[in-house]
Amino acid sequence: MKLKQLKEVLNAKVLYGDKFLDKDVKMACGSDLMSDVLAFIKADAVLLTGLTNPQVVRTAEMAEVIAICFVRGKKPQEKTLKLAQEKEIPVLVSEFSMYACCGRLYKEGLLSCDGLK
Amino acid sequence: MKLKEIVEKMSLEVIGTATDLDREVTGGYASDLLSDVLANAREGDLWITLQIHSNVVAVASMKGLSGIVLINNREPEEDTVKKAESENVPILVSKMPAFELVGKLYALGIKGSQDNA
Amino acid sequence: MNNEKKITKVQELVYELKVRDAMRKDIIRSSPDILMSELGETLRSNRISGTPIVEHDKLVGIISIEDFIKWLAEGGKDCPIESRMTRSIKTLYDDEPLVHAIGKLDKLGFGRFPVIDRATGKLLGVITKGDIIESLLRELEIDYHEEEIHRYRASHIFEDIIADKTILRFEYFVKGKDFNRAGEVSSGIRKTLTRLGIHPQIVRRAAIASYEAEINVVSYTSGGEISVRVQSDKIQIHVTDSGPGIPDVAQALKPGYSTAPEWIRNLGFGAGMGLCNIKKCADKLDIESTVGKGTRLKICINMKAG
């Protein structure tokens, strides 16, 4: 699914990265614990999280995440957004809960990061 | 839907023996941040998390959640199991990551908060 | 253990490639009103074992050589192929990943799937197991060339330097308790290793391992050092701090074991997965720790993938 489809499914706002909306998202990972993200996420996945500190972007960089989507309408800290721009990682925010975001994306056929095992 | 049914359909492992599974699950909430669950989960929600320390039982019991599902095959700490049995909070374990489990629960009709509104 | 760590190129490709990349576009199609006898001729002269049936660009059915043989066996009374075709057809969309196609071929036991456009339902092509294998081999060949270039670049430095043994060593300093900058060192390590032309899969493992170690240094100590030694056959990452030490290393390696205070948990760490993650990424991990003195992590990653 294209990032812009994901944006529609989650009714999300793009805080950074309009120019990346044509990128392909293959998988998704929903977690608030960055070590869990590092352990399970695959490259080109979208990271859904309720955490908004800069470490989320650092983790995304290490795990080669394609985009970050904050759930529950949580606006990221300013330094988080700045770091995301620096690393060129798109940032979205959805008003839906983590649960609803996962449910909707899974319904649209997005794969889970477990898929390659 | 009854928790029993979900356990069967999602092939969840039931931890401990002393809790009753004959309760109604009215919604779902996915989060690994205890403060977030305290603030935003609703009574009757099934909680999907990878947190395994005994605080999860306290939170679930305080909010009247219908159960806790640990994802990625995480094993609860011993304390958590004991506390869960004494507080009558069901603890279940899934092999799936959060995204996939929530996707499947969602497809079963267990909705998140915005979806019921 | 190793299987879990390694994602094979083919596994990556079946997610990357779309059905449209592997499908055959120049396909023979038939219209529903041609006769069974004509179909026999079409199959024979084109050496195909079946054909999709299309009316006004829309896929309405599929007919195979088995249907044809069955018709012959039942007497072979001529009729439009419409009356012998299979109408309930399983199809694939052209934008689905190949892994879906493989799954469906496997599950349903069919030899081929018509591929249609998601929006218009128009028939775009047909995909068979053979097509999938061919497209994978094609991609692997391209990838193999890239791999060669990678390896050339990586070994380049080691060949240019005249010595019996060459070790590149980079050092980094990690500030304790400064969570805003935590991760900068690992970001630098990642970039450097990439520039050296090291395989992306190896870079990824090194970056994740050093990042988790860096987070530990920031979380629990007043600071430390990370040194990276790159040799032609391995990467060694040593993380040294003068923090409180780990009282029980075996316990600390258990998934979920954590002594993290709430502020670290609120940052999304401290769930007791850090050391496990490092171990998962490393080919070898040694931990030397003395309570009250500090901890040294020795992470070794072999250069050859797998």
CATH of the domain at B48: 3.40.1390.20
Q: Is B3 an interface residue toward A (CB < 8 Å)?
A: no
Q: Considering only CA atoms, which of C170, C175, C169, C201 is closest in space to residue C188?
A: C170
Residue A44 lies in a domain: yes
Q: Considering only CA atoms, which of C268, C272, C203, C215 is closest in space to residue C239?
A: C215
The CATH number linked to A79 is 3.40.1390.20
Contact C173, C188 (CB under 8 A): no
**C235 Cβ neighbours under 8 A, 6+ residues apart:** C193, C198, C202, C206, C228, C229, C300, C301, C303
> Given a contact as 3+ CB pairs under 8 Å, which chains touch B?
A, C
Structure tokens at C175: 């500030």
Under an 8 A CB cutoff, do C256 and B74 touch?
A: yes
Q: Is C5 an interface residue toward A (CB < 8 Å)?
A: no
Q: Considering only CA atoms, which of B96, B111, A62 is closest in space to residue C200?
A: A62
DSSP letter at C97 equals B
Edge-first strand order for the sheet with C123-128 is C92-93, C112-116, C123-128
Collapsing DSSP to helix, strand or coil, C166 comes out as coil
**Residue of chain B whose alpha carbon sits nearest to that of A94:** B114
The number of folded domains in chain B is 1
Contact C239, C282 (CB under 8 A): no
Q: How far apart are CA A26 and CA A45, in angstroms?
A: 6
Residues shown for chain B: 117
Torsion of the alpha carbons at C235, C241, C246 and C251, rounded to the nearest 10: -20
Tens-place pLDDT, residues A41-94: 887 899 999 999 999 999 999 988 999 999 999 899 899 999 999 999 999 999
Q: Is C112 an interface residue toward A (CB < 8 Å)?
A: no
The DSSP element (H or E) to which B5 belongs, if any, is: helix B3-9
Whether the predicted model's global pTM rises above the 0.95 cut: no
pLDDT bucket at A117, cuts 50 / 70 / 90: very low
Phi-psi region of B102 (alpha: psi -120 to 50; beta: other; left: phi over 0): alpha
Identify which of A26, A54, A62 has the shortest CB distance to residue C15.
Answer: A26
What's the ipTM? 0.87
Under an 8 A CB cutoff, do A58 and C187 touch?
A: yes
Q: Tens digit of pLDDT per residue, chain C (306 long)?
A: 344 445 567 777 787 788 999 998 888 889 999 999 899 888 888 888 888 999 888 889 989 888 888 888 888 888 999 989 988 888 899 988 888 888 888 888 777 789 999 888 889 999 988 888 888 888 887 767 766 665 556 556 777 778 888 899 999 999 988 877 888 899 889 888 887 888 888 998 999 899 999 989 998 899 999 999 998 899 999 999 999 999 999 988 887 788 887 777 777 777 777 898 899 899 999 999 999 999 999 999 998 754
Q: For chain C, what are the domain ranges?
A: 2-134, 168-302
Under an 8 A CB cutoff, do C258 and B53 touch?
A: yes
Look up the domain containing A71 and give its range. 3-110
What's the pLDDT score for residue C107? 81
DSSP C202-247: HHHHHHHHHHHHHHHHHHHSSEEEEEEEE-SSEEEEEEEE-SS--S
Q: Considering only CA atoms, which of B42, B31, B51, B63 is closest in space to residue B91?
A: B51
C231: exposed, middle or buried (Cβ count in 10 Å: 0-12, 13-18, 19+): middle
Residue B116 lies in a domain: no
Chain A contact residues (CB < 8 Å to C): 26-27, 32-36, 38-39, 42-43, 49, 51, 53-56, 58-59, 61-64, 79, 111, 115-117
Residue, of B27 and C57, whose pLDDT is higher? B27
Domain C2-134 has CATH 3.10.580.10: yes
Residue of B50, B72, B100, B106 to mutate for A, most A C-beta atoms under 10 A: B100
Under an 8 A CB cutoff, do C269 and A38 touch?
A: no
Q: Considering only CA atoms, which of A8, A42, A55, A45 is closest in space to residue A25?
A: A45
Mean pLDDT value across chain C:
85
Residue of B99, B100, B102, B108 to mutate for A, most A C-beta atoms under 10 A: B99
Residue B115 lies in a domain: no
Q: Which residues pair with C80 in a beta bridge?
A: C35
Residue A117 lies in a domain: no
The DSSP element (H or E) to which A111 belongs, if any, is: strand A111-112
Q: What is the CA radius of gyration of chain B?
A: 12
Residue A66 lies in a domain: yes
Look up the domain containing B19 and give its range. 3-110
Residue A101 lies in a domain: yes
The number of folded domains in chain A is 1
Tens-place pLDDT, residues C9-53: 777 778 778 899 999 888 888 999 999 989 988 888 888 888 899
Under an 8 A CB cutoff, do A103 and B100 touch?
A: no
Residue B44 lies in a domain: yes
The DSSP element (H or E) to which C289 belongs, if any, is: strand C284-290
For chain B positions 26-45, those within 8 Å of chain C (CB to CB) are 32-33, 35
**C252 Cβ neighbours under 8 A, 6+ residues apart:** C246, C275, C287
> Given a contact as 3+ CB pairs under 8 Å, which chains touch A?
B, C
Residue A8 lies in a domain: yes
Annotation: CATH topology of C168-302: Heat Shock Protein 90 (3.30.565)
Mean pLDDT value across chain B:
89
What's the pLDDT score for residue A80? 94
For chain A, percent of residues with pLDDT exceeding 90? 74
Instruction: Give B22→chain A minimum CA distance, Å.
Output: 23
- Chain B residues in contact with A105 by the CB 8 A cut-off are 99, 103
User: β-strand B67-70 against B91-93: which pairing, if any?
Assistant: parallel
Tens-place pLDDT, residues C159-188: 777 888 889 999 999 998 887 788 889 988
For chain B positions 30-59, those within 8 Å of chain A (CB to CB) are 30-33, 36, 40, 48, 50-51
DSSP letter at C181 equals T
Residue of C194, C215, C257, C266 to mutate for A, most A C-beta atoms under 10 A: C215
What's the pLDDT score for residue B28? 96
